[in-house]
Structure 1
Amino acid sequence: MPQTPADQPHHRLVPAPAGRIHLVEQGSGPLVLLVLHQLQALAAAGYRAVALDVRGYGRSSKPGDVAAYRMLDLVADNVAVVDALGEPSAVIVGHDWGATIAATSTLLRPDVFRAVGLLSVPYTPPGGPRPSEVFAGMGGEEEFYVSYFQSPGRAEAEVEPDVRGWLAGFYAALSADTMPAPGAPDPHFVGRGGTLRDRFPADRLPHWLGETELDVFAGEFERTGLTGALNRYRNMDRDWEDLAAHHGAPVAQPSLFVGGALDASTIWLADAIKAYPTTLPGLTSSHVLDGCGHWIQQERPEEVNRLLIDWLGSLDSPDSPGV
């Protein structure tokens, strides 16, 4: 059946605390807010799928203050998007930092976000030791990438002279078919006096990433720069302080988790996954995909789409725990 204009993705800019948030929406039905791109499959399944550029990315506003990228502000942006779309509530789904943003949005605004899908990064409740101290203690003489990202301008100086080449290596380093072999130097750490790129695979792309698609990703980051994205890492201690009243708090709404068995996030946070009966009491679907790395929605798109759609369909079934 040929597509009508209503079936096509539609770009919009909506007002938000960031200034403006750029989003793409497709389809009609219950609202699913995505901090990732799975539009076509969800729209075809009967959902109003909306993918947004988080502040600092793409065509959304890019505040200059590092503190403007704290979690409370990102949650406020998500709430503003739902309001601008004229909906009372939404299901929210995110990958990597998007998963943490989605989980925190659901924790802080259960009146707006009725369910949450987490891809690749497990939920860990706010609290525990101060994040900067935890990450500074990782790696021994090597420096963990999160600590490496803390000083404004430092990581930018590595990435921005060759955004396309850096992104290619970064995507390859965390994809199952191109990641370094077991026992090779870990690309999540920086050797003394080195850079992250030193440990990225060279001259090979993962199976899911073509040259044209890489050009699009690189073009966006060349236009915007990396500072907005990196400022998210530079707010973890602020988030820890801002969310002090929620330390240890579970997310009670219905939830989904999908991770890759070869992803460092799944491996390092295995205890967080084991704690889901306490931290995600509304968990209705949890999956770890064998032989899959970090970029699960690109590495295994059909499987991830099926899991998302099945889970979304279960939310309104008679056996659902309720929203």
Structure 2
Amino acid sequence: MSKKILLGMSGGVDSSVAALLLQKQGYEVTGMTMRLRPDEYMCSSQNGGCCSLDDIDDARRVCYRLGIEHLVMNFTQEFERDVIDPFAKEYQAGRTPNPCINCNRYLKFEEMLRRAKQLGFDAVATGHYAIVRQNEAGRWLLYRSPAGKDQSYALYSLTQEQLAHTLFPIGELEKPEVRRLAQEAELPVAKKPDSQEICFVEDKDYAGFIRRYTGKELPEGDFVDAQGNVLGRHKGITHYTVGQRKGLGISFPQPMYVTAIDAEYNRIILGPEGSQYAKELVAGDLNWIAFDEPPTELLVQAKVRYQAMPAQARVVPDAEGQVRVIFDEPQRAVTPGQAVVFYQENLVVGGGTILK
């Protein structure tokens, strides 16, 4: 009897080709699109992001083309609780969260897997570019994809239980090959562009979204230098992120960068060229994919942003369950709230949230 797979389908080409490949491999595939956005955030896909009404329709059309069942499941309450609300709270606290990581962690691989088991499916699958393998000792491991669109950074929080029941059918393919397969199969999304934005925030207006969501207008405050000298006025801390240079709304004789956000005193700390780099960081809320127990000191290549290049670093655990990450070379825009993910070659060792 073939295994039953519940495939998360976003309406894009990646998850559509994942459905095609699973079907060719003999799995019994059911496509499932998560309805994530509450009604007030639903819109057409022309407005950017993913998980829109148009995307649900695209996923349905792909499933019809492949002759497989398509389900739409309502996860709007979970999405607001686990993604939107923490996003707003983190920004208000002066941190810059990555909502896509929370969506993967709590929705796509926790809630989706839970519902899949309830419905009698053997595993879940998605169109992520990453690789899951089991080693000789029986431990499930996550590897970066050889493709240019590797997405393992956003998957570092997966548990052993989740990895054991997850398939990434396109994990070893390059994007042009995925599109070629979609065109050959005459899938209606073969030429659909990739979504680029946070799905519930239009036009990258994070501050505007947080103002509308919370009903609060965060007050203006001071720009200060590292010594606390006032340099000017900022328009509210949700408008800024560490490493930012453009859009400060104030001019200086030299380039100035956001080096820290002090939410307690409503201050944005600015510094000159060079101050946007940090030699080390502290991270918490750790997940170690490659180890049963938190490791002792180890050498890794660490990524501090999705688009960042992995950098040589030393990870030193402390008594509080956190780690210091000390880089061989200073890293640009190390941002509290973002993830730091640890690699050893192609293996995802683990990762956590940057605290400071």
* TM-score category (smaller protein): under 0.3
TM-score (norm 1): 0.28
Greater strand share, 1 or 2? Answer: 2
RCO comparison, higher one (Cα < 8 Å, 6+): 1
- Larger helix proportion of the pair: 1
Tell me the TM-score normalized by structure 2.
0.26
